[in-house]
Amino acid sequence: MAYATVTRLYSDQPLGGGISVPLDDAQTHYLRNVLRLGAGARIALFNGADGEWWAEIENLRKNGGAARPVEQRRKPRAEPDLWLVFAPLKRARIDYLVEKATELGVSALLPVITERTIVERLNLDRLRAHAREAAEQTERLTLPEIRDPMPLGALLADWPADRRLLACVESGAAPPVAEQLAREQPGKWAALVGPEGGFADSELDAIGKLPFVCAVSLGPRVLRADTAAISALSLLQAFLGDWRAGRGA
Amino acid sequence: MAYATVTRLYSDQPLGGGISVPLDDAQTHYLRNVLRLGAGARIALFNGADGEWWAEIENLRKNGGAARPVEQRRKPRAEPDLWLVFAPLKRARIDYLVEKATELGVSALLPVITERTIVERLNLDRLRAHAREAAEQTERLTLPEIRDPMPLGALLADWPADRRLLACVESGAAPPVAEQLAREQPGKWAALVGPEGGFADSELDAIGKLPFVCAVSLGPRVLRADTAAISALSLLQAFLGDWRAGRGA
């Protein structure tokens, strides 16, 4: 677990041996004033295109620092193609949900406005900062994309034909999730969870009729939306995603 | 979903038609000052022994109120026998974990001190209040038991022979969780997650040798302890627990 003590920072700059990679103000501040590091200290920089590199800090000036990648730590690799479609929640819960979804390997977060969605204003910059921090801590190479909110109906009307949607519904008719997922194939997937007040009946009817939807039940208790999202993503990863290969993969 | 708007309160008093059930100070304060209810308003009272009852508020006096059960809403029923063994976390995360574990049907929460556990002092009263609130919102009839913390070694040395333990470990050797759970049988289960710093190697060795342990991997990313707990409980419920019957059960 020495692993967990490496300082990993996401960089949107090209990474490669001997390049001087600029660090943004927040990164520079964090390295200098929080971690109290100086020139020569070793961190890791990563992104999806170039993988992860050990890098030496060159300088941490007030107007922006720089680090020099010295050795590749991990090669770029395919990460899951898994979406989460969810109705915005109150602040603490949505921050938590973004963190958890990032840890669970989600590639895109799609906020949707449903009939019973209460929280409509979203601070996307704050959510992106949470996702970045979670990616840095969870050993991912990529950041999840966080899309602009849109109405659920519009999203489903324009849904890509090659992506299945696991809809978590609170109705007696849906089959148990494990029974259903055991019959499904890996590929492009998304999970859909409703707002705290649940989907409206008209929404459930419409969702149930879509050919790409796989509606399931998450058991007899009422789950909060954030809990349902974490459960659904865990189950998708375990049954059909990259948890099938174990940690050594 | 009119369901979700019922005010459900856990009561440790006997519940039955025509009995006057005392409400404690916190319940009385909540009903009177937060919900602004008065005599005659209808709430639901529940516990594991007597099920759930519609009840009419009799009075909400400052020195304690009372409500009268009028009709049984749900009969007592078996709830899952599922434990969560976890190392204490920082305040916001442990509160969240207790809430989520309660929603996921855990019957007992067992905090353990491991070699790398950092937070050792636990406010059990606060955790019990969180569990109660989560039980009220999630349509459970019981509250999960929250045990006093004990050393992991002592807990495992005295482990009940008839209960299996799903140990979530971050090592390459453990099989993928879905592969393993597909081979297991329903019954008494527990999930074990380590502290934020992970288990020590000596702890992992000891855990791996225990006959009741089923060690699994939760995929290639580093999960926070609270995420691992929610994932493990979701998988146990979906594969072996009461999520197998669907919501209508």
pLDDT of residue A1: 32
> Are A31 and A113 members of one domain?
no
What is the extent of the structural domain holding A111?
Answer: 82-244
Residue A17 lies in a domain: yes
Q: How many CB atoms are closer than 10 A to CB B161?
A: 6
- What's the pLDDT band for A246 if we cut at 50, 70, 90? low
Please choose, from the candidates B205, B247, B4, B217, the residue with its C-alpha nearest in 3D space to the C-alpha of residue B105. B247
Residue A148 lies in a domain: yes
Element containing residue B154 per DSSP (H, E): helix B152-157
Of the candidates B139, B178, B249, which has its C-beta nearest A239's C-beta?
B178
Residue B156 CA to residue B165 CA, distance in Å, equals 10
**Where is pLDDT greater, at A167 or A245?**
A167
Of A46, A74, A102, at which residue does a domain stop? Answer: A74
pTM of the model: 0.92
pLDDT of residue B1: 32
What is the domain-level CATH number for residue A17?
A: 2.40.240.20
> Are A25 and A92 members of one domain?
no
pLDDT of residue A2: 34
Q: A2-59 pLDDT, tens per residue?
A: 344 789 999 999 999 989 999 999 999 999 999 999 999 999 999 999 999 999 999 9
Q: A120-146 pLDDT, tens per residue?
A: 679 999 999 999 999 999 989 999 999
> Are B109 and B209 members of one domain?
yes
What is the domain-level CATH number for residue B196?
A: 3.40.1280.10
Of the candidates B4, B171, B178, which has its C-beta nearest A238's C-beta?
B178
Mean pLDDT of A180-200: 94
Q: Is the pLDDT of residue A70 over 60?
A: yes
**Where is pLDDT greater, at A89 or A120?**
A89
- B174 contact residues in A (CB cutoff 8 A): 246-247
Of the candidates B174, B198, B246, which has its C-beta nearest A246's C-beta?
B174
Contact A227 B104 (CB under 8 A): yes
- A96 contact residues in B (CB cutoff 8 A): 96
> Are A24 and A96 members of one domain?
no
Of the candidates B140, B174, B222, which has its C-beta nearest A221's C-beta?
B140
- A224 contact residues in B (CB cutoff 8 A): 99, 103, 137-138
pLDDT of residue A91: 84
> Are A67 and A86 members of one domain?
no
Contact criterion met (CB below 8 Å) for A37 and A31 = yes
Shortest Cα distance from A62 to chain B (angstroms)? Answer: 32
> Are B108 and B25 members of one domain?
no
- A139 contact residues in B (CB cutoff 8 A): 220-222
- A178 contact residues in B (CB cutoff 8 A): 238-239, 243-244
> Are A101 and A136 members of one domain?
yes
> Are B136 and B202 members of one domain?
yes
Of B74, B96, B124, at which residue does a domain stop? Answer: B74
> Are A191 and A143 members of one domain?
yes
Q: How many CB atoms are closer than 10 A to CB A218?
A: 27
Residue A207 lies in a domain: yes
Residue A249 lies in a domain: no
Shortest Cα distance from B37 to chain A (angstroms)? Answer: 22
Q: Is the pLDDT of residue A118 over 90?
A: no
- Best A6, A93, A97, A103 member to test B by mutation, with max B CBs in 10 Å, is A103
> Are A119 and A43 members of one domain?
no
Helices vs strands, H then E, count in chain B = 7, 12
In a 10 Å sphere around its CB, with 0-12 CB exposed, 13-18 middle and 19+ buried, how is residue B202 labelled?
exposed
pLDDT of residue B247: 52
Residue A136 lies in a domain: yes
Shortest Cα distance from B119 to chain A (angstroms)? Answer: 18
Low-confidence residues of chain B, pLDDT below 50?
A: 1-4, 248-249
Of B49, B74, B99, at which residue does a domain stop? Answer: B74
Shortest Cα distance from A93 to chain B (angstroms)? Answer: 10
The DSSP bridge pattern shows strands B8-10 and B213-216 to be: unpaired
Please choose, from the candidates B187, B171, B228, B6, the residue with its C-alpha nearest in 3D space to the C-alpha of residue B80. B187
Contact B238 A178 (CB under 8 A): yes
Percent of chain A exceeding pLDDT 90 equals 82
Largest Cα separation within chain A, whole Å, is: 62
* Domain count for chain B: 2
Of the candidates B96, B224, B238, which has its C-beta nearest A103's C-beta?
B224
**ipTM here:** 0.91
Contact criterion met (CB below 8 Å) for B74 and B52 = yes
Residue A212 lies in a domain: yes
- B3 contact residues in A (CB cutoff 8 A): 222
> Are A47 and A89 members of one domain?
no
> Are B65 and B40 members of one domain?
yes
